[in-house]
Amino acid sequence: MDFAQMNDPLDTDPGETGEWQDALAALLATQGPERARFVLDTLARQARTARIGWQPELCTPYVNTIAVDQQPPFAGDLAIEERLASLMRWNALAMVARANQAYGDLGGHIASYASAADLFEVGFNHFFHARDQSPEGGHLGDLVFFQPHSAPGVYARAYLEGRLSEADLGYYRQELTSPAALGGTGARGLCSYPHPYLMPDFWQFPTGSMGIGPISSIYHARFMRYLTHRQLLDCANRKVWGVFGDGEMDEPESMSALTLAAREGLDNLVWVVNCNLQRLDGPVRGNGRIIDELEKLFSGAGWNVIKLIWGSDWDGLFARDTSGALARAFAGTVDGQMQTFAAKDGRYNRETFFGQNEELARLAQGMTDEQIDRLKRGGHDLVKIHAAYAAAAAHQGQPTVILAHTKKGYGMGKAGQGKMTTHSQKKLDEKELIEFRNRFNLPLSDAQATSLAFFKPAADSPEIQYLHARRQALGGYLPRRDTACATLPVPELARYAAFALQPEGKEMSTTMAFVRMLGGLLKDAKLGPRIVPIVADEARTFGMANLFKQVGIYSSLGQRYAPEDIGSVLSYREAIDGQILEEGISEAGAMASWTAAATSYSVHGLAMLPFYIYYSMFGFQRVGDQIWAAADQRARGFLLGATSGRTTLSGEGLQHQDGSSHLIAATIPNCKAYDPAFAGELAVILQHGMHEMLVEQQDVFYYLTLMNENYAQPNLPPNVHADVISGCYRFGHYPAAAGAREPGSAALKVTLMGSGAILTEVIKAAHLLAAQGVDAEVISVTSWSELARQAQASSPGETSAACDTDAGAAFVTAKLLQTEGPIVAATDYVRAVPESIRAYLPPGRAYTTLGTDGFGRSDTRAALRRYFSVDAASIERAAWRALQASP
């Protein structure tokens, strides 16, 4: 292309402009791109120094970044790979269409995979490494995040590989009715999107919730660097690949960590953004160009950007276009119009696009309408994709994003290609199926095509042999989730928590007790190096500053400055082998780091134990979707909601005071949530959780709430440790004071239950009641949700009327049967939390719940507890009301 011939109406001196352009062309021709880049950088610095108000555009012309003469040779058999990709497309389409033809309401997606099939196939055939399963080991495997709506295509590939059967494909989105689910042998149900919890040997990363995959991939790439720098695992030759949608880039999580990836120089990270220009309802940027927008965003964030716009069929057109007509036409074409071009035929595109001016019309001369219709966008050209992937894999010093231009519903013709409705397209009629067969030259008869028959070549066919050979060269099949991981011994409880079990009334907060236990665990020779402390930006708030010197804060650059507090015993210390992940003000980033560490046992075959501590209000409420995704990924680790409850954090007010996290935590099946009041309870729960996750290797994670309130800590008797784990134990009996009631009168009895920050108020209330002649029994509840789960499991479908002293009775029922009188339960959370056990109370026992429903306020703890009626006086009054109402 001769840029000198591209006239600009703003050019006041075209002759001088041409001289500058000729000079740059001569520099390139004689000294090459490196020298040209140096000169341009020098001139840019000079321009900035002169303050002329100019900076380079972040958007390049709408053409491929990699020129034809820079493309490496294609490393495979192009004809076979094109046939394989066509078979994947067909089997994916058949799977979705058959399910909806039979049942009508199962859903599924055809168009997304139709656009991304070639992007996937080049990765599968040439770039995506699996973990080497050979005895001698080898490559530890790449991490691949798959665009969720393209799951049918991944199943279709696994079918050709022999990892899924034809019967399995027949139970797509029918997980409960498949033979395997019904207890027999045979077909397994295939879940809608990538869900490791549902297919634990297959899917590795959950990406079904838009935006969670992108941010997770960044922090997984960073965690691999963390493992390498701490000399725990060499991840130097591994990549993280993410295939995401252009519409997905609108999610805040997709964009939120781009600068971190660049700042950390994560050249082990490659994103492929499938720019099919459409989201669910219509164009992503109908009045603009999403590829241009994303190029600016990623370039500005410091990423290496590779634009993969046009396929090889366009190379000849660009070569003949000496005036730049194509580039100018593309610059003036918005995505909404580009979508229309995708939906229309060759004649329309000839008249509407190439008919814009004489220059474009001459370029299209000699081409038939069918040839124009078949002009490929870059994301559908295996050769172009391979060149982009190769460049991305070789790039050093930056993460890379490939912006791949595709057509949504590619090859679906009038049934869906480029249509506004294509995302929801589930069915094709007989004519459309025949056209799809013809479009991809599939070896199917009319009867096979119209009946949606799956097709798999013979085992000795060139296609199947090639398929297996390519995957064997890359270490095996993907996706595949591995769970083999060596157990990690847990130190004895007394070694790091004796002070918590026997505090002898010493005052401390449970937050301080946790930090002290964490410090002890970090000193353990075997477990210590595997612990990953994580904070968003509150280490000092939570009393963790002493860990700065002990284990350091991870930084890939080390510490290149002298910190202001260098002489302090708590000075800030960053180190390349630092252990703490201090993520700044980003709960989403900290949660993504936690997930990377919590799934290391599966992703890397190396058990790690993350502890992420944060303001409890900024956990489930703020990043609940990420926590749910971590649960899907079978995470193992500890989440610690500090300054928990609605009244423990005095002064902060509505947005900081948490009254709901335990309610939300109870909805996650593999999350075990505890609200310990005392350091001893916390220690026992920590010990049990570590043993369950690291020794028993159970796929659970723990949510523990911690308080910043200092109060006397009682000793914890060994005989109640098991009950602490089960969810509650009898803390103490407070008999009525002698002479407090009239002689001969019947003894009044009440049972008080409490947890976390409010248990101390419950104990105070027990003392008040005892002084007034009431026998009070105090039950310390460590986990309302565990009590409710165990009760539900012990008597499914039954209520308290069926609960008695039988061996099958719920644990909470059995405990309360050992007490008498009405029951009053109080927590620092909404009343729905203690209400969760109502169905499992002993028959005939009145039950009153007190909680902190509503918005928080800024005030002292005492004022807040009075306001929400969870202080000792309020609990005492509730007990008297219950006693007076009792028969």
**237-246, 377-386, 557-566: which range is least confident on average?**
557-566
Close Cβ partners of 438 (under 8 Å, ≥ 6 residues apart): none
R_g (Cα) of the chain, nearest Å: 32
The whole-angstrom separation of Cα 621 and Cα 625 is 9
Interval 847-871 mean pLDDT: 96
Looking at residue 309, its pLDDT comes to 97
The whole-angstrom separation of Cα 416 and Cα 115 is 11
Q: Longest C-alpha distance within the chain, in Å?
A: 116
Interval 147-157 mean pLDDT: 94
Paired tokens of 174: 């029918």
pLDDT digits (tens, 9 = 90+) for 554-568: 999 999 999 888 888
Interval 435-439 mean pLDDT: 90
Kindly give the pairing relationship between strand 553-554 and strand 507-508.
unpaired
Looking at residue 2, its pLDDT comes to 45
Backbone angles phi, psi at 575, to 5 degrees: -155, 150
- Are 773 and 825 in contact by the 8 Å Cβ rule? The answer is no
Strands in 774-781's sheet, in edge-to-edge order, are: 728-734, 774-781, 748-754, 823-826, 847-850
| Sign of torsion over alpha carbons 471, 473, 476, 478 | negative
pLDDT digits (tens, 9 = 90+) for 577-615: 999 999 999 999 999 999 999 999 999 999 999 999 999
Which tops the pLDDT comparison, 738 or 115?
115
Query: Is the pLDDT reported for residue 803 higher than 70?
Result: no
| Nearest of 638, 619, 646, 655 to residue 757 by alpha carbon | 646
Kindly give the pairing relationship between strand 728-734 and strand 701-705.
unpaired
| Nearest of 280, 284, 285 to residue 421 by alpha carbon | 280
Q: Tokens 């009393």 — which residue?
A: 543
Q: Tokens 């020098």 — which residue?
A: 42
Query: Is the pLDDT reported for residue 576 higher than 90?
Result: yes
Q: Is the peptide bond before 479 cis (omega within 30 degrees of 0)?
A: yes
Query: Is the pLDDT reported for residue 572 higher than 60?
Result: yes
**Mean of the per-residue pLDDT values of the chain:** 92
Confidence band (pLDDT; 50, 70, 90) for 5?
A: very low
Q: What is the 3-state composition of the chain as percent helix, strand, coil, each rounded to the nearest 5?
A: 45, 10, 45
Paired tokens of 489: 């011994």
Confidence band (pLDDT; 50, 70, 90) for 425?
A: low
Q: Among residues of the chain, what percentage have pLDDT more than 90? A: 78
Interval 533-548 mean pLDDT: 90
Confidence band (pLDDT; 50, 70, 90) for 172?
A: very high
- Are 829 and 660 in contact by the 8 Å Cβ rule? The answer is yes
Interval 23-45 mean pLDDT: 90
Paired tokens of 688: 């049990």
Task: List the beta bridge partners of residue 554.
Answer: 575
Looking at residue 787, its pLDDT comes to 98
Query: Is the pLDDT reported for residue 800 higher than 50?
Result: no
pLDDT digits (tens, 9 = 90+) for 174-197: 999 999 888 888 889 999 999 999
What is the enclosing helix (H) or strand (E) of 96?
helix 78-103
